[in-house]
A = this chain, B = another copy of it.
């Protein structure tokens, strides 16, 4: 009868001669039973390899489950890996389970994931970006659970937002480069279809340049994943069109490193002939022979803050709707 690992509360109750309610109370560390009963119950549960059934617990009670969903644009990005890590550490410590999803920068995939996740009645969800389908927004409103939008700051979040402004990142880089005397700037990007955030950085960059009187000379946006190769070939293409550029802002660090590799190959001196600026703050970028000029994003912190905001809301503690995370433009030896 004491088949290992298949026992439920009732089985334990029978073996110990108490009711299953008492077993439930003991195992959840409640009160209203003698020490002797507690020890007997715990011993039996242990002996029988009892594994609680959270499905039943979460299903029964109106109180929220301990499931939290998180959807990121890509799982293979170093940056989002750190965000996930921050979220996972914070939530695991507090006894939550994390359900991941990946939307490939597509709101429609996010909605599809959301429909799946909501059917598990999670305690809350963390989404990245602020572009959501109307269906997703409606679903979230109806679900009535905490929602944290991360990465791309929204001043009017669905519920809460933790992140920074990509536009401002671009502006800061634009102003910085003009101050450093750059006059003919280019941009190399790559968008897996609908990456609005890289787009925002470029727009901020461009706007700052216009304001300073030295508008963006040219840009090359590849329809490719924003990696090393895209940076390498993107710069090649851009320079073929406009060899007179004196600085290039890249979609991210991986691409900038690709650009650096191209320069090294062609004997283009960095930063004398051409400035190279990335974005993101990859660990790699800071140890390369030439330290890359880039914007460092505190990724783990964003994940941690998002998780903590979500849990605070669940506990009914006061939380601010919008948490701004400061990024840092770190001048290196390339820009």
Contacts and interface: CB of A to CB of B under 8 A. Distances in A.
A99 B101 contact: no
Number of copies: 2
A210 interface: no
Nearest to A49: B142
A98 B97 contact: no
A100 B119 contact: no
Given A85-B75, A97-B99, A139-B5, A53 B287 contact: no
Nearest to A227: B283
A146 B67 CA distance: 22
Interface in A38-89: 49, 51-56, 58-59, 65, 67, 74-78, 81-82, 84-85, 88-89
A158 interface: no
13 contacts: A49-B139, A49-B142, A51-B115, A52-B119, A55-B59, A55-B121, A75-B81, A75-B84, A76-B78, A77-B81, A88-B100, A92-B101, A95-B116
Interface of A: 4-6, 49, 51-56, 58-59, 65, 67, 74-78, 81-82, 84-85, 88-89, 92, 95, 97-102, 113, 115-121, 138-139, 141-144, 227-229, 232, 254, 257-258, 261, 264-265, 283-284, 286-289
The 8 closest A-B pairs by CB, nearest first: A5-B142, A228-B287, A55-B59, A75-B85, A54-B119, A76-B81, A264-B289, A75-B84
